[in-house]
Structure 1
Amino acid sequence: MAEWDIQKLEEKYRDIWPAAFEADPDGREKFYLNVAFPYPSGAMHVGHGRTYMVPDVIARFWRMQGKNVLFPMGFHVTGTPVIGISRRIAKGDAGTIRLYRDLYRVPQDVLDRFDDPMTIVRYFAGEYERLMRRAGLSIDWRRRFITVDPQYSKYIEWQYHHLHEGEHVVRGVHPVKYCPSCDNPVGDHDLLEGDKAEIMKFTLVVFDWQGAKIPCATLRPETIYGVTNLWANPGLTYVRAKVDGEEWVLSREAAYKLEMQDHTVEVTGEVEGSELVGSKASHPLCGEVPVLPADFVDPDMGSGLVMSVPAHAPFDYIALRDLQKEGRYGEIAPVAIIRTEGYGEFPAKDAVEKSGILNQNDPRMDEVTREVYGAELLRGRLLDTCGVVSGKPVKEGRDTIAALMIEEYGSKEMFDFDTRAVICRCGGRVYVKILHDQWFLQYSDPVWKEQVHGQIDRMSIVPAETRAEFDRTVDWLKDWACTRRVGLGTKLPWDPAWIIEPLSDSTLYMLFYTIAHHIKKIEPEKLTPDVFEYIVFGTGNPTSVPRETLDAIRQECLYWYPYEYRFSAKDLISNHLTFQLFHHLAVLPEDRQPKGMVIFGMGLLNGAKMSSSKGNVVLLEDALNEFGSDTVRMFLIGSAEPWQDFDWRNELVIGAKKQIERFWNEVTEGIAVEENDGREIDGWLISRLQHRIENATSAMMNFQTRQALQESFFGIEADLKWYRRRLPTIAPGSAAVRELCSAWVRLLAPIVPYTCEELWHLMGNEGSVAFAPWPAQDAAKIDMAAEIAEEVLARTVEDLESIIKLIQMEPKAINLYVAPAWKRQIFEMVAAAEDRTDAVRLVMADEGLKARGKAAVNAARQITKFIHRLPPQFVADLVSGNVDEKAVFTAAREFLEREFGVQVNILDAEGSMEAKADAALPFKPAIVIE
């Protein structure tokens, strides 16, 4: 028997497979799936591996279903990330060099050239392709491209002409994430930290203070009516600054942020925080209030000074309470301004005390604050003491007061992030900046939004619950800065001083895959916009490329597009996955819109989130070297469904390797020996196989790859184990086993392709298993009577094993007492009843059973409990299967005696002198061990 050696199998097949997966249009039904292409700026880890292995499993499944499957791959390299990496390496940044030298193990001679961004791109794109090939991904590599290829840039130019003509790209004034070090707007993919940071709009409530102004940043300007004091950090040094001609006191950090946001700022002096503490400030809407000390005030949050509303802000309430416990400021009392159902006069006090929070350092303070703010926003109404907004809902009053303050009370808007650390890949701090000449994708357009909502409704989205997340993203999306001054990428065709940013140039590349292998053969200068217009729409008369060439390219585009499914991670719903829906609708006709998406969960390592920058990853190459590609695939597919988070643990991966070895051994043994036919249990095995095929197929069609593996590996393995156990001697080979092995290898081929390819050939088959027909259920081979009989027998064996273990003695004989027909009648009556809560009444309605009196009553109760413990489908099968229970046990007597090494007697419970025989229930014989 050949031994399983995954490394040898990889060497044997990985280089001959790729050509087989080159997909060209033919007469078959097509299935086009794609996955978010990688940004190759570092080594692949096992999380990346799962991202590409799951769609590969689906691609392989549909090929075996006879469809013409396209699974392409490209590489996303535009933007500034690789530029930031190259700059850090060029500067000798120790952390970056250590990451690439030690974790990613880039050879020193290559690392020495990483000061060139394109060297990074070429090196890691090559590494990604090498590992993807090794992992057995069934990709059509002819279509590979990178997003700085000149032919791709021409395609992007064509796309943006369309967007511009449709007025989806406009020049405007907007706040954007901005890196002063790069002097460039940045997107989420450009960030080392804070990639989920949102830009928030604060209102600066301006208080008068000793001839100057103190601005306090707030998201809740309506609470001005409840301000009791201001907070200042006595340990800070604040600055005096001329802000738009007015003298303000604020933190130095806030002054810099305002300078980035269209304000003229001139720092003129300094003010110690201790000088502010104890003074008075005033505002027309709350009057004069004191400035109190607070070490928790962060100069990098807002203006570095905070207005305090202790009735409605838990942090303010507990900070004031702490001061008053020290015997200070006892004259200050909270001022209630909002009435909210579920809270008393002072919601902040209620929430803090209900949670048992003792001080402001309690980690639950953030949660309590969100709870109060959320409740007041949703259900709160402003009290009659709140001037022009008295009696209004909080949300309405908030907008009204914000506008009023800006118009009449000198307030200004300030933009900042909802998180503190937002760091560019260059290593520099990112701020919010107002840009004037920037180009934006107008995602705020309500008409465009409505079109996308309609498309979301029409699409298949897996899992279904993420559909709501797509809709939420569409609702809150604002205009998106789509251009940069620096970085890799395509120049904006009508304003070439700008470069299209990476999330904005990767929204229609799925269509480019369908033609990429043709387009890359054409000189870039010949790819004028009218060339793509003809390929996509069939309009115009381009002359730079021969018409017959264009017609062939167009036919391929029409054949493949739209895609059936796109696979990507859930963290991209908030940007890329939703952006691409906007762009498809803006550029392509209705019949070219995406059909479906599958959303992935995230990757964990020993329970913690994977992070390359923190070194908390397992590199894919290390995993492949240690365990082999099929093992890695088996574990990643079996650890969770695609949309669930998975947790890589080495000890569990070792278990997956052992599972494949068992599979290999079972199949090689099963096909190597002479056949031994004609056993009754063979029919049961083939009958069970039909259900495994049906269930695995259904799971695959629903992208439940883990469930498909459960059926096609663990389910079949369990059936074979019982089959072997039922045989009088070890005889692994039979026509039934060979039939099962043929189906088994094909069922697992999408998941462990190297192993199954070799087994397929060892079984004497021609061609690749990747193109073998997927097993189909044969209803004629289903023998429910045999299946029910074996299930009843197996359950009885489990009961016997439990009893013997419990009594801790060697049995001398086993007696099985089979329930009488009248108990079977009760079983069928209770099973068929819609309401089983009163089985006794049901049974007593039958005259024959009623005559049995107390015995029938007790039996009805026992049988009802038994039925409730059984799977509903099994109960239905028992009723419809017409199983002769005594015949089942009589036929299996030899097996039972072999299992337990003693004589087994099959007896009728009715008329027996054995007291325990009365406990016999249908399909659950009474057991007496001597």
Structure 2
Amino acid sequence: MKEYETEYREAWTHSFEADPGEAEKFYLNVAYPYPSGAMHVGHGRTYIVPDVIARYWRMRGKHVLFPMAFHVTGSPVIGISKRIANGDEKTIKLYRDLYRVPQDVLDTFIEPDQIVRYFSGEYERIMRSCGLSIDWRRRFTTVYPQYSKFIEWQYLHLMEQNHVIRGAHPVKYCPQCDNPVGDHDLLEGEKAEIVKYVLVMFNWNEYKVPCATLRPETTYGVTNLWVNPDVTYKKVRVDGQKWILSPEAAAKISLQDHEVVYDGELPGTELIDQTVSHPFCGEVPILPATFVDPDMATGIVMSVPAHAPFDYIALRDLQETGKYTEIKLVSLINVSGYGQFPAQDAVEKSGIKDQNDPGMETLTQEIYSAEFSSGRMLPQYGGKPVKIAREEFSAIMLEQHGSLVMYDFDTRDIVCRCGSRVFVRILKDQWFLQYSDPEWKQQVHDQIDKLNLVPPEVRAEFDRTVDWLKDWACTRRIGLGTHLPWDKNWLVEPLSDSTIYMSFYTIAHKLVKIDAEKLTPEVFDYIFLGKGSPEELPLSKEEVEDLRSEFLYWYPYDFRFSAKDLISNHLTFQLFHHKALFPEELQPKGMVVFGMGLLEGAKMSSSKGNVILLEDAINDVGADTVRMFLVGSAEPWQDFDWRRELVSSTKKQIERFWNTIHEGIDAKGSYPIDTWLLSRMQERIANATGAMNSFQTRQALQEAYFGIESDLKWYRRRLPENVRVSSALNEISGAWIRLLAPFIPFTSQKLWEETGEIGDVAFSEWPVPDEKKINIPVELAEELLTRTVEDVESILKLIQIEPSGITLFVSPAWKYNVFNTIATAQDKKKVMSVIMKDEEMKKRGKEATDAAKQITNLIHRLPPELVSRISGLGIDETSVFESAKDFIERELGLPVTIVSAEGNAHPKAKMALPFKPAIVIE
């Protein structure tokens, strides 16, 4: 199959170039990749799913635009090139061994642009190998000068609207790059959040001993401080004030707008048993604790054992040795479900043995959450709810008791792509996008309500993101990208220059041919907003009108596809920027959010080598197998798991499809079962179409491949002996090929041609159900046969005797009447009384009530659609079984007798129900 994959890749070079036309458009796009390494199968799924959707809507007659570009701004490739230039073995090994970059090419990677050039070319080559139906004319990278002019236009408008401000904010910062960094700049710690601590300043002689807390309201309950005796602390002057800090904390504080001067060292052992004081808790001792992490906040911890499980159990462990028994717990907060000392209560009830118990972390979160959500301070501490008291105590400490704010991460090991550790830094002259603006937030909330989101439940996550988003550092000092038009010392950072590029796609192929200097803000104003006069622009009137016309044809985009982890940044950022820049009629219409990718059950990670390269997968099993597995193993919003065994199974499924279509090419003859097969095909088409309309690619494939394959198995069984196929297989082949064309385009194109069709199947018409071929009575009859044969086969597996024959007792007509009454009843609770009002049912008495109960249970077990068909049409079961008697006997290898259950004395006869004959095996 690989031979024709190569053939069609070349033939499709320009096939999917889309220009404005008369047909209704469908514009979809996907997050453009950052080409800094080889593509793996996770990337494949990201781009193949939208391609399946693009191909589907193209076949539905829409004018489809599916563009692609490459995101290369920022510092990631600079960090990679630095590591390679510095001889970093781990990086060199990754690119040489996993990504298999030729050595002569790898030698050039000391220049960032060489990395970009090589991998963007590789990405396009692999994407073409996957059969992606992309309009490659629109390809660009984010360092094109024309794109930079576009970004300048965007930021001038954002600045005019006061959405860009200058200020001092905490940011993720790489000291080696001397640059703020975003998640895309990180090797590790992409999900790390910046946490704002309040420093509670304890006094010790002439020194301040700061402890970082997220719960300043608990300071009244401090019974001691914890210090790690194995750490050598630093004596420092912070803005002239003497502090004691861990070495790590001193370095962090120096990045947060404080002047730090080192005065000496102090072993942790010398702090043990010293006494410190604070106005809220008085004098308390310093106790030893090796669990104190010097890299966590200040490296010194205040202990509130009544309300913090870790503090409680650490103090308990010390007191069990006979030390510090004079320390008593101080209760501060009353919370429902816990005693006077919630931490003690929770630890003792949970049977926690020591502070190393893995259950401690969960227990701590439970206590903290309960106290914050429903806790109330005791009357002597104000009596207010904790969530209110926390803010008030924080303000009092900052204003009256010398407390300061310190920022740190909620997790460790945040590493820049250059290999350096990342810290929190306060930048004074940084530019920020003011996502904190409540009016802007509300506009985005309103827009989210109008979006078509797949799956719908992510709407809440978008709203949550909008609510907690703070001002975002949108510039960097170094890297690749666009300079701020009003401050050339700064570059727009990667997440901030990738917010509205979907609009750039619409005219990218034309813009890249225009001298960038001619692309003034006024030009973009006219193209995107219709502002100004074409006669006053540096482009000809024809050029600028053509650009605006094309933009308006395609925009707004219909659907954007992206990973769910980007809801917290990129996907929400682009909503903010669209609201700021474009009118209501040009706002995004919808988004499809992807799940994550696993490899044999484990998370994929290029840096850890736990990936399958996409090109390797294509070479191993073929592009169509890769496509069919990635699209069919899970719905787009679900996580998928690449498992070699299942991938191999997918390859065999395509081979079966290939063989079946070829089997039907010269098939002749017709048989009664053909009517059923053609009818079932119409239902498969309808179901697959409905699933595709809802982006349920897995469900669509279940119908378009597995459903039809299942039908064919029954169809073959129902054909006469020694007959394998009929002309019906030939008749459904064209529709079947078209149903699978979006999923496996290479195989479908080859089969399209081999079945005598002309042209590209990608532009053929998507199948439409033919109402004339739908035959529900025939489908019901075959469903009855299928279920009956399966029931008999199940019984035969269980019985111990050698059977001699089978009797089928067919349900009497009156039970069908009961079935219809129950199936169509509006009020199921009253249906029994309705049945028993019938004169015939009254006469039958207990027989009728028993049958009604049995039929009710049967209806609950049957698919609702089947129940509806049975009650709506009914079926002559005797005729069905008599006409298929030879088939049943052939299938089961036993003589079959069909008997009416009505009036039959056999004890099993009364068990006969509609669509479920009573079965007797003798």
- Name the TM-score class by shorter chain: over 0.9
Q: What CA distance in whole angstroms lies between the structure 2 residues aligned with 1:546 and 1:843?
A: 81
Deviation at 1:353, TM superposition (A): 2.8
Say which SS state the counterpart of residue 630 (structure 1) adopts: helix
Residue number in structure 2 paired with 1:651: 645
Aligned residue for 2:285, secondary structure, equals: strand
Decide whether the 8 Å contact of 2:522 with 2:537 is kept in 1.
Answer: no
How far apart, in 2, do the equivalents of 1:380 and 1:235 lie?
36
Taking the aligned partners of 1:574 and 1:25, their CA distance within structure 2 comes to: 34
Residue type of the alignment partner of 1:42: G
Pairing of 1:249-648 with structure 2 (within 5 A): 249-386=244-381, 390-540=382-532, 541-648=535-642
- Deviation of 1:847 after TM superposition, in Å, equals 2.6
1:695 aligns with 2:690: no
Task: Report the CA distance between 1:913 and its aligned residue.
Answer: 4.5
The amino acid that maps onto 2:226 is: W
Q: Distance between the aligned counterparts of 1:357 and 1:432, measured in 2? A: 35
Letter in 1 for 2:849: V
SS at match of 2:147: helix
Residue 356 of structure 1, CA deviation: 2.7
Are 2:666 and 2:730, in contact at CA under 8 Å, matched by a contact in 1? no
Whole-Å separation in 1 of the counterparts to 2:835 and 2:285:
82
Q: Residues 647-726 of structure 1: matches in 2 within 5 Å? A: 647-673=641-667, 675-677=668-670, 679-726=671-718
Paired with 1:770 and 1:40, the residues of 2 have a C-alpha distance of 28
- Read off the aligned partner of 2:693 and give its amino acid letter: M
Q: Deviations over 1:663-699 (max 9, x none)?
A: 11111111233x212x222111111111111111111
The letter for the 2-side match of 1:168 is: H
**Residue 807 of structure 1: CA displacement?**
1.5
Q: Verify the 8 A CA contact 1:804 1:810 in the aligned structure 2.
A: no
Cα distance in structure 2, aligned partners of 1:909 and 1:606: 54
Residues 664 and 727 in structure 2, CA contact (< 8 A), matched pair in contact too: no
What corresponds to 2:171 in structure 1? 176
| Aligned amino acid, residue 128 of structure 1 | Y
Which residue number in structure 1 is paired with residue 753 of structure 2? 761
Identity of aligned residues (%): 65
Bigger drift between 71-80 and 157-166 goes to 157-166
Give yes or no for the alignment of 1:102 onto 2:128. no
SS at match of 1:306: strand
Residue 853 of structure 1: aligned partner: 845
Consecutive unaligned residues of structure 1, counting only runs of 5 or more, are none
CA contact (8 A) 1:202 1:413 kept: yes
| 1:74-125 Cα shifts (integer Å, max 9, x gaps) | 0000000000000000000010001111111111111111101011001110
- The residue that corresponds to 2:894 in the other structure is 902
Post-superposition Cα deviations, 1:220-257, rounded to whole Å, max 9, x if no partner, equal 11111111111001111101111111111111111111
Give how far 1:395 is off.
Answer: 1.7
User: Counterparts of 1:839 and 1:548 in 2: how far apart (Å)?
Assistant: 73
Amino acid corresponding to residue 658 of structure 2 in structure 1: W
* Structure 2 partner of 1:25: 20
Q: Tell me how far apart the structure 2 counterparts of residues 158 and 837 of structure 1 sit (CA, whole Å).
A: 66
SS of the residue aligned with 1:15?
helix
2:508 alignment partner AA: A
One-letter code aligned to 1:456: I
Q: How big is the shift at 1:27?
A: 0.6
Give the 3 Å change call, closer, same or farther, for CA 190–889 of structure 1 in structure 2.
Answer: same
Would the aligned equivalents of 1:18 and 1:139 in 2 still touch at CA under 8 Å?
no
* Deviation of 1:735 (Å): 4.0
CA separation in 2, counterparts of 1:542 and 1:529? 12
2:739 to 743, 747, 753: 747
Asked if structure 2 preserves the Cα contact closer than 8 Å seen for 1:21 and 1:140, the reply is: yes
8 Å contact from structure 2 (residues 434, 470) kept in 1: yes
Paired residues for 1:226-265 under 5 Å: 226-265=221-260
For residue 314 of structure 1, report the CA deviation from its aligned partner.
1.2
Q: What's the CA shift for 1:397?
A: 1.2
Counterpart CA distance in 2 for 1:586 and 1:819 is 68
Deviation string for 1:148-183 (max 9, x for gaps)? 111111111111111111111111111111111111
Alignment of 1:759-908 (within 5 A): 759-836=751-828, 841-908=833-900
Q: Normalising by the residue count of structure 1, what TM-score does the alignment of the two structures yield? A: 0.97
Q: Do structure 1's residue 38 and structure 2's residue 30 form an aligned pair?
A: no
Cα offsets for 1:804-831 (capped at 9, x unmatched): 1112555332221212223323323333
* TM-superposed deviation, 1:837: 5.7
Say which SS state the counterpart of residue 775 (structure 1) adopts. Answer: coil
Q: What amino acid is the match of 2:652?
A: K
Q: CA deviation at 1:858?
A: 2.9
Q: Within 1, Cα distance between the matches of 2:873 and 2:832?
A: 25
Return the offset for 1:855. Answer: 2.8
Distance 1:383 1:713, change over 3 A: same
Structure 2 spans left out of the alignment, 5+ residues: none
CA distance in structure 2 between the partners assigned to 1:566 and 1:226 by the alignment: 51
TM-aligned CA deviation for residue 856 of structure 1: 2.8
Cα deviation for residue 843 of structure 1 reads 4.1
Q: Distance in 1 between matches of 2:324 and 2:874?
A: 85
CA RMSD in angstroms, aligned pairs only: 1.4
* Length, aligned pairs only: 920
Q: For residue 676 of structure 1, what is the amino acid of its counterpart? A: G
Q: Structure 1 residues 16, 278: closer, same or farther in 2, change over 3 A? A: same
Query: What does the per-residue CA deviation read over 1:252-294, in whole Å, with 9 as the maximum and x for residues that have no partner?
Result: 1111111101111111011111111111110011100111111
Select which of 102, 118, 121 maps to 1:123. Answer: 118
Say whether 1:68 aligns with 2:63. yes
Change (3 A) 1:587 1:897: same
**1:531–1:542 CA contact under 8 A, matched in 2:** no
**Aligned mates of 1:404, 1:907 — CA distance in 2:** 90
Deviation at 1:539, TM superposition (A): 2.7
Structure 2 CA distance for aligned equivalents of residues 98 and 280 of structure 1: 53
2:211 & 2:754 partners in 1: Cα distance? 76
Q: Aligned partners of 1:810, 1:741: CA distance in 2, in Å? A: 43
Distance in 2, Cα, partners of 1:593 & 1:831: 46
Q: Structure 1 pair 594/840, CA: closer, same or farther in 2 (3 Å)?
A: closer
Deviates more, 1:532-541 or 1:375-384: 532-541
